[in-house]
Amino acid sequence: MPDDLYAKSLVEEFSADLISNLYGNPHSASTPSALAGHRVDTIRDRALRFFNADPEHFDLVFVSNATAAIKLVIDCFKDYAAASNTPVWYGYHKDAHTSLVGVRESTKLHRCFATDEEVDIWINSGGLGGPRARQLGLFAYPGQSNMSGRRLPLNWCGRIRKSFHKAATYTLLDAAALASTAPLDLSDPATAPDFVALSFYKIFGFPNIGALIVRRESAHVLESRKYFGGGTVDMVIAVNDTWHAKKNSSIHDRLEDGTLPFHSIFALDHGMNVHERLYGPNPMKFISHHTSQLGKQLYNSLSNLTHSNGLPLCRIYKDDNTTYGDPSVQGATVAFNVQHADGSMVPYEEVEEAADDQGSFVRSGSLCNPGGMATYLNWSPAEMKAAYAAGHRCSKPTQIMLGKPTGVVRVSLGAMSIAADVQNLIRFLDNTYCHGANRALLSTPMSLAHSTPLSPPPSPGPRPTVSPLNIPHALYVPPQHSSPSLAQNATGRYGILDNAALDSTALPQQPSPLTIEPERAKNPPWNPQDYINMRKPWEAEMRKQHAQTYNVGMEIKVHEVEDASTFSRNPTPSVKARKFGRSVVNLLRTKSHFVDNNRVPPLPTNPPLPPGEPPREASNSQRSRKSVEKHRFQDNVDALGL
């Protein structure tokens, strides 16, 4: 059950757009490039309004994902602090994602708030225990815990701005999990966060890009960034000087390095179109209500699953102050562990693998939420260090240590999730771990919850078609509508399945008549010669014309390799050959294995002295041995041909 899936219509409209229009790099001045640049600016404003953010008070910077947005903020903060000779203080909530926790390594002063009460006390005290006067402060927290789904107060940002007068403390909201199933309202700049990191992939399923929304009154903190990339400067001197001039037209112009993923940005435009068509003029409000009710069904069903001895099947990790079904405090995310009838824990990866085999897709592990894991699973810092020393890793976990699990199973419900998904998961857990002890709970489909069924949004009217943009005739490519195929349909063939059509709360779809296609003939076996025959016609002729040049080039390469041999046509050894020869000589001088293993036949020993000749003196004998070694070395060199 992923956060969200992309709809079939989104892929079709995006493909038709690219087929019908020609786009170029927005940094160029050509007609396709100007077209792309104008459309990127239009989509940027539309994305801001999707979150009720007025472009006069906010700007949007396109990034690769939410983590990249967080990193961009702290990089700018470090450079701003260095330029103003001001230390940076960083505070973060315990429910923060790993990407938020990692920011602390870039600051010398940091603090983790273990509870909401600590944050409230800190704000009410005017920043006591936080940044001091004339210090630069940054407080970051998630809008929704990516582990338990608990939604944190959004009014902290406005309260911090009003309470902190001496210390400049800014707020960073990680809205990646929150914005996927809840409306993010930035209509009031006075209470909105200074910086918002989010992911469009988690909202629409496609494209895989993110954004950093910047409050314009706080943008000056980001303007001291030292690094600059292509497209962010007006002038650069590279030789004999280190001067450059940054762009000052807008915030995103100074922070978007290099070429934007403009094709993905165009897909974002279609994602917003599809969302409004499927879920109404206010899609996130409808999705929030829909997922909230599904989350309530899931939580109630998991809570009611028991073993035959009455022990609960699931150990659910939930904040005591939140209630499933109330979207203001709780999202549609449930984290739990499965336990046996004797109370022992089932390894969480085994649950994920078994659920995957049954068609229910969940996530298991530590979920990149170290604070939430340590709190709910009762792991102390000393125990976590001991677990690491014992070999536990996030990528290769030891699932149960010291009698406690090191991770959880997480179920996330999104806009495309339906009640049947919840039923399938509950049925799988009951059959696999309770041996059908809860069949009465699953006897009727509506026994999962007693809430009223959701009503679909008003019909948005006919589906719009993608028309080609106003571009020169020479650049226009006529559209070719095609239906890519992924999932098996009723005819037995494979076609992309629009997940929204399965949603019990989505708009009703008109049933399409079944079309029986003739069975295609099987493709013949692959023959590599067919690929050669399909090549460009001039390729074979080109090979014939350059065959002689190719052979000559090969001869030159062979001669270079044989340069140091006696058969080389070049009598002068190359530099490489001379280096090789010197290395061999050095090896022989150090009595290497060539000499020690007697690869060269040893020289005959000195003949005995004639009778009557007096023996030589010690000095002469010593010189004789040196002479023998010298001759032996020279013979070895001659034998090797050096």
Residue 585 has pLDDT above 70, yes or no: no
Residue 558 has pLDDT above 50, yes or no: no
The pLDDT-based confidence of 539 (bands split at 50, 70, 90) is low
595 lies in which domain range?
548-639
Q: Looking at the domain assignment, is residue 593 inside a domain?
A: yes
Of 430, 448, 466, the last residue of a domain is 448
Question: What is residue 634's three-state secondary structure?
Answer: helix
pLDDT score at 407? 97
Element (H, E) at 409: strand 408-412
Mean pLDDT of 315-338: 96
Question: What is residue 135's three-state secondary structure?
Answer: coil
Report how many domains make up the chain. Answer: 2
The pLDDT-based confidence of 500 (bands split at 50, 70, 90) is very low
Mean pLDDT of 221-250: 91
pLDDT score at 513? 46
Residue 384 has pLDDT above 70, yes or no: yes
442 and 296 co-located in one domain: yes
Q: Looking at the domain assignment, is residue 332 inside a domain?
A: yes
Q: Looking at the domain assignment, is residue 151 inside a domain?
A: no
Most confident of 227-231, 327-331, 501-505: 327-331
Residue by residue, DSSP assigns 316-337 as EE--TT--TT-TTTB-SEEEEE
Residue 74 has pLDDT above 70, yes or no: yes
291 and 431 co-located in one domain: yes
443 and 583 co-located in one domain: no
pLDDT score at 211? 98
Residue 516 has pLDDT above 70, yes or no: no
pTM, two decimal places: 0.71
Mean pLDDT of all residues belonging to the chain: 80
- The Cα diameter of the chain in Å comes to 128
Q: How much of the chain exceeds pLDDT 90, in percent? A: 61
pLDDT score at 614? 57
The pLDDT-based confidence of 257 (bands split at 50, 70, 90) is very high
**Residue 112 annotated among the catalytic residues of the structure:** no
Residue 580 has pLDDT above 90, yes or no: no
pLDDT score at 506? 41
Range of lowest pLDDT (82-96, 195-209, 371-385, 535-549):
535-549
| Greater model confidence, 98 or 615 | 98
Three-point CA angle 174, 180, 183, nearest 5°: 85
d(CA 101, CA 95): 9
409 and 552 co-located in one domain: no
Q: How much of the chain exceeds pLDDT 70, in percent? A: 69
Q: Looking at the domain assignment, is residue 177 inside a domain?
A: no
Residue by residue, DSSP assigns 213-263 as EEEGGGGGGGTT-----TTSEEEE--SS---EEE--S-HHHHH--SS--HH
Residue 189 has pLDDT above 70, yes or no: yes
Q: Which of 157, 368, 394, 434 is catalytic?
A: 368
Mean pLDDT of 50-64: 97
Range of lowest pLDDT (2-16, 198-212, 255-269):
2-16
Residue ranges of the alpha helices (H) in 347-460?
348-357, 370-376, 381-389, 419-433
Of 395, 422, 448, the last residue of a domain is 448
pLDDT tens digits, 422-457: 999 999 999 999 987 777 666 655 443 334 434 445
Q: Looking at the domain assignment, is residue 399 inside a domain?
A: yes
Mean pLDDT of 109-117: 96
| Greater model confidence, 501 or 591 | 591
296 and 409 co-located in one domain: yes
Residue 612 has pLDDT above 70, yes or no: no
562 and 435 co-located in one domain: no
The pLDDT-based confidence of 641 (bands split at 50, 70, 90) is low
Q: Looking at the domain assignment, is residue 168 inside a domain?
A: no
Q: Looking at the domain assignment, is residue 416 inside a domain?
A: yes
Contact (Cβ atoms closer than 8 angstroms) between residue 173 and residue 197: yes
Residue 487 has pLDDT above 60, yes or no: no
440 and 326 co-located in one domain: yes
pLDDT score at 586? 63
| Greater model confidence, 611 or 8 | 8
pLDDT tens digits, 126-152: 777 777 777 899 999 999 999 999 999
| Greater model confidence, 602 or 349 | 349
pLDDT score at 472? 40
Q: Looking at the domain assignment, is residue 427 inside a domain?
A: yes
The three-state (H, E, C) secondary structure of 292-320, written as one string: HHHHHHHHHHHHHCECCCCCECEEEECCC
pLDDT tens digits, 349-383: 999 999 999 999 999 999 999 999 999 999 999 99
Residue 402 has pLDDT above 80, yes or no: yes
| Greater model confidence, 36 or 586 | 36
Of 387, 419, 448, the last residue of a domain is 448
Tally the C-alpha atoms within 13 A of residue 433's C-alpha that lie toward its C-beta. 29
Nearest to 424 by CA among 296, 298, 335, 340: 298
Range of lowest pLDDT (33-42, 280-289, 528-537):
528-537
